[in-house]
Amino acid sequence: MKLKNKVAIVSGGARDIGKAISIELAGQGAKVVINYFGSTEKAQETVSEITAAGGEAIAVKGDLTKTADAENLVAEATKAFGDKIDILVNNAGGIVARKSLDEMDAEFFNYVLQLNTTSTFLLTKATATKMGEGGSIINIASQAGRDGGGPGAAAYATSKGAVMTFTRAMAKELGARGIRVNALCPGMISTTFHDTFTKDEVRKNVAAGTPLGREGTPQEVATIISFLASEEAGFLTGVNMDTNGGLLFS
């Protein structure tokens, strides 16, 4: 229970990696605020799983590309669990679609950046005012932010590269308040993200070319997040940590 009585916000915390993170943090004793937008049923299922196991959690709907929704999420968190927030996991985001340069327009490009980068900025800004010494912010970046991503992922890769740089900048700025800021850069993780946007043969080829010979799991990501959120990682900040089975060495 290394996070006992800590308060954590997990954006996009209702399904896949976000769900695994929410359940893992709750299992380590944190009180979890699960943000969702389109996954109402899955958000309630995740809350139910946590409470059935003896944990504490609430779900709050919000579009985190909007300042008002980000601020409302923080307000609901403090209303439920007290005025201090200890942990923020910026997990909300997505690829939306795979589009080549010729297929993309400015509207699509900007939307993907808003979904992945602007949302991280807005929720970090809203939450940091409620954090203090010992606070931990973990951003979910991507291997795509390091290597440019696969075909049609230029907008997504660009947005995640920006998240990585934002992580470094916030580590410098918020360190004076005792707040650590790190990011995780997952590679091929077995989720509905790849079920939807990555062809089966591509997934098989990537797994075969990975030193560990497989995809990762959401739980493996969640375990690392739990570590970064805890005092065990007390001298880590500004780190963009890879979890890709050895596919890419940074």
The 10s digit of each residue's pLDDT in 86-115 is 999 999 999 999 999 999 999 999 999 999
Domains of the chain: 7-238 (3.40.50.720)
Residue 242 pLDDT: 97
> Over 90: is that where the pLDDT of 125 sits?
yes
| pTM (predicted TM-score) | 0.95
Helix crossing, 119-128 with 67-81: angle to 10°?
A: 40
Residue 250: the pLDDT is 85
**Residue 199: its pLDDT value, please?**
85
**The dihedral sign for the CA sequence 210, 213, 216, 220:** negative
Task: Grade residue 171 by pLDDT with cuts at 50, 70 and 90.
Answer: very high
Per-residue confidence band for 244, with pLDDT thresholds at 50, 70 and 90: very high
Q: Which of 81, 121, 156, 166 is catalytic?
A: 156
For residue 160, CA distances in Å to 22, 92, 167, 183 come to 21, 12, 10, 10
Write down the pLDDT at residue 74. Answer: 98
Q: pLDDT class for 163, splitting at 50, 70, 90?
A: very high
Task: Give the whole-angstrom CA distance, residue 115 versus residue 97.
Answer: 12
Question: Could you read off the pLDDT of 43-99 as tens digits, one per residue?
Answer: 999 999 999 999 999 999 999 999 999 999 999 999 999 999 999 999 999 999 999
Average of per-residue pLDDT values in the chain = 96
Q: What is the pLDDT of residue 197?
A: 72
Is residue 196 very low, low, confident or very high in pLDDT (cuts 50, 70, 90)?
confident
Clarify whether 156 is annotated catalytic. yes
Q: How many secondary structure helices (H) and strands (E) does the chain include? A: 10, 7
**What pLDDT score does 189 carry?**
92
Distance of CA 205 to the CA centre of its chain: 26
Residues ≥6 apart with Cβ < 8 Å to 22 = 10, 13, 14, 32, 34, 46, 50, 57
Average pLDDT in the 149-177 region?
97
Give the C-alpha distances (Å, rounded to integers) separating 195 from 21, 51, 167, 189, 191: 20, 29, 28, 10, 6
The confidence score (pLDDT) of residue 36 equals 98
Q: What percent of the chain has pLDDT over 90?
A: 92
- pLDDT score recorded for residue 191: 82
Identify the pLDDT of residue 198. Answer: 80
